[in-house]
A and B are shown apart, each in its own frame.
Chain A
Amino acid sequence: MTRTDEELVARAQGGDIESFNQLIVRWERPIYALAYRVIGKEEDARDVCQDAFLRAYRALPGFKGQAKFSSWLYRIALNLCRDWIRRQRRAPVSQLPEDADAIELASEKGPVESIEDLVARRELSAIVEEAMSELSEEQRTAIILKEYHGMTFQEIADMQGCPLSTVKTRLYQGLSLLRRRLEQQGQLMPELVKRT
C-alpha cells in the first residue's frame, strides 16, 4: 500500500525512520535535480541533497503541515543551495557539464537514437547549462522551479519570498536572456507544432 506524504511524515514524527526513508526514496531525485541545476556540480548537489533530508528529519518535529511536505523540503534544499553559492562566492554552474546521463537517457528512449542524436543532445544540454549559468541566481532558480519542477507562480513566490509579479519578471527576463544566448549559438529549437 502506498502511503501519502502526510501519513509518512506523521509516522516519521513518531520516530519511524523507515517511513522517513520512504519519503527520501520518493523525493531524492527531484531534490537532487534541483540542487544540481542550481549549483551545477554533481558531488556538491549530492551533498546538498543528503543534507537537505537530514535537516528535514531533524526539523520534522516542528513541521506542522502548514505547507506540503514537498514544498517544505524544496525550501530547505533551496536554502542549502543558496548557502553553497554564498560559500563559493562565484558564479555557479561555471564548469563544463559533468553530466553522464546520456547513455541512460538513450536506453530510456530506446535503441532507435543514433550516436549522432546522442552527441547532439548532450551538446545541447551542455549549452543550456552554460547559458543558465549566466543568469542571476534568482532568475535561474525561478526558471528551474517553473520548468523542471512544475511549480506555480505563487509557489515560486513563496519559495523565493517575493511578490508574484517579481516571479513573472524574473521568468520573462531569464527566458529572454536564454533565448538571446541560444539564438546566438543557433540552438533554439524550432516550433515543432504550429500553435493554433
Chain B
Amino acid sequence: MNEIFQCGDSGALVAYLYDECSPGEYAVIAAHIKGCVACASEIDALSATRRTLASWTPPDLALGFQLTRSDVGPAKILEPKIAWWRGPLPAWAQAAAALVIFAAGLSVGTLRTGSTGQIAETPSAASVPVESRTSATTASRDDLAQLEKRLRTEFGQLRSTPTATPVPARGSDDALMRQVTTLIEESAAQERRGFTERMLNMADLIERQRRVDMAQIGNSMGQFRGATRDELRQQNEAFNEALRRLVSDSAR
C-alpha cells in the first residue's frame, strides 16, 4: 500500500484497524478519517465489532494431554543412552544377587540348624529364663516411676510460669472477624454464581435438546409426508392403469 489513500479502500482500512501499516500510511489514513464521516464511522463500527468479538471465549477445560510411548509407537523413539550401571540388571544377574543375599543370611545365623539337621527353635519370649524376665520388668517399672516423677515436676514448673503464647489483641480479633466475614461473603457469592451457572447450563441443555427433538420431528414428518405422497402416487397410477384396462376391455 502506498501512502495515497483512497476513500473507502477496505484493505487500507483493515490495515489501519489492526495497526499493520507503516507509520506514514497510518498518518495518512488517520488524517483522512478526521475529515471523512463515512470512513470514521466505518472504523468505529469495525472497532466495536472487534471489542464484541473479545467476549467469545472457549471453554476453560482441563486438557492435560501427555504423549506416551504407546501413542507414538516403538519404532519412532530413539532410546536414550543410559550408562550400563544405571540400567536395569538382567534376570540372571538379579537371581544371582538374590542367591548371594540368601546365602549371607544363612551364614549370619538368621536360621540356625542343629547337628541333627532339624531347624532349631528361634529365641522367643517363652524361651527366655524367668529370672531375666522379672529383672527386666522391675527395671522398667523403676524407669517409668522416675520418668513420671520427672514429668510431673516439669509440668508443675510449666504451670507456675506465665504462658508464652501471645494473647491476640482486640484489634486483631476484629481483623480476623472481618476476614472471616469477607470469606463467607465471597463464598456465598461464588455459590450464587455457581448456581446461576448450573441453571444456565441446564437451560442450554434443554434448548439444545429441544432443537434436536424439533429437527428429528421435522425429519420424521418429512419422511412421513414423502412416504404418503409416494403411496398416493402409486395408488393413483394403479387405479389409472386398472381404469385404462377396463375401458379397453369394454371397447373390445
Closest 10 CB pairs of A and B: A15-B78, A36-B58, A128-B56, A168-B11, A101-B60, A172-B10, A189-B51, A179-B49, A104-B60, A103-B197
Q: In the assembly, what is the distance between CA of A178 and CA of B45, in Å? A: 10
Instruction: Name the CB-closest residue of A to B72.
Output: A57
Q: In the assembly, what is the distance between CA of A115 and CA of B72, in Å? A: 46
Shortest Cβ distance from residue A82 to the other chain B in the assembled complex, whole angstroms:
18
**A125 near B46 (CB under 8 angstroms)?**
no
> Which of A33, A57, A103, A191 is B58 in contact with, Cβ under 8 Å?
A33
Interface assignment of B240: CB less than 8 Å from any CB of chain A: no
Residues of B within 8 A of A37 (CB): 56, 58
B contact set with A: CB distance below 8 Å: 10-11, 13-15, 18, 20, 43-61, 63-69, 71-72, 76-80, 186, 189-190, 192-194, 196-197, 200-201, 204, 207-208, 211
Instruction: Name the CB-closest residue of A to B45.
Output: A179
Q: In the assembly, what is the distance between CA of A100 and CA of B202, in Å? A: 11
**A96 near B57 (CB under 8 angstroms)?**
no
Residues of B within 8 A of A162 (CB): none
Q: List the one stretch of A1-9, A17-25, A63-71, A72-80 in contact with chain B.
A: A17-25
**B200 near A102 (CB under 8 angstroms)?**
yes
Shortest Cβ distance from residue B185 to the other chain A in the assembled complex, whole angstroms:
8
Interface assignment of A85: CB less than 8 Å from any CB of chain B: no
Contact with B along A120-164 (1 / 0, CB 8 A): 011011001100100000000001001100001100000000000
Q: In the assembly, what is the distance between CA of A96 and CA of B242, in Å? A: 54
B-facing residues in A29-46 (Cβ within 8 Å): 29, 32-33, 36-37, 42, 45-46
**A20 near B67 (CB under 8 angstroms)?**
yes
Interface assignment of A91: CB less than 8 Å from any CB of chain B: no
Residue among A49, A97, A111 having the largest count of chain B Cβ atoms under 10 Å: A111
Interface assignment of A58: CB less than 8 Å from any CB of chain B: yes
**A98 near B59 (CB under 8 angstroms)?**
yes
**A189 near B52 (CB under 8 angstroms)?**
yes
Shortest Cβ distance from residue B196 to the other chain A in the assembled complex, whole angstroms:
5
**B208 near A96 (CB under 8 angstroms)?**
yes
> Which of A103, A147, A169 is B193 in contact with, Cβ under 8 Å?
A103
Residues of B within 8 A of A107 (CB): 190
Q: In the assembly, what is the distance between CA of A102 and CA of B203, in Å? A: 14
Shortest Cβ distance from residue A51 to the other chain B in the assembled complex, whole angstroms:
10
Query: Known contacts A28-B64, A42-B59, A118-B197; can you find 6 more A-B pairs with CB under 8 A?
Result: A54-B71, A96-B204, A111-B190, A173-B10, A191-B44, A195-B43
Residues of B within 8 A of A152 (CB): 20
**B59 near A115 (CB under 8 angstroms)?**
no
**A57 near B67 (CB under 8 angstroms)?**
yes
> Which of B44, B59, B80 is A16 in contact with, Cβ under 8 Å?
B80
> Which of A24, A32, A42, A169 is B11 in contact with, Cβ under 8 Å?
A169
Q: In the assembly, what is the distance between CA of A57 and CA of B75, in Å? A: 13
Q: In the assembly, what is the distance between CA of A125 and CA of B57, in Å? A: 7
Shortest Cβ distance from residue A38 to the other chain B in the assembled complex, whole angstroms:
10
Shortest Cβ distance from residue A91 to the other chain B in the assembled complex, whole angstroms:
14
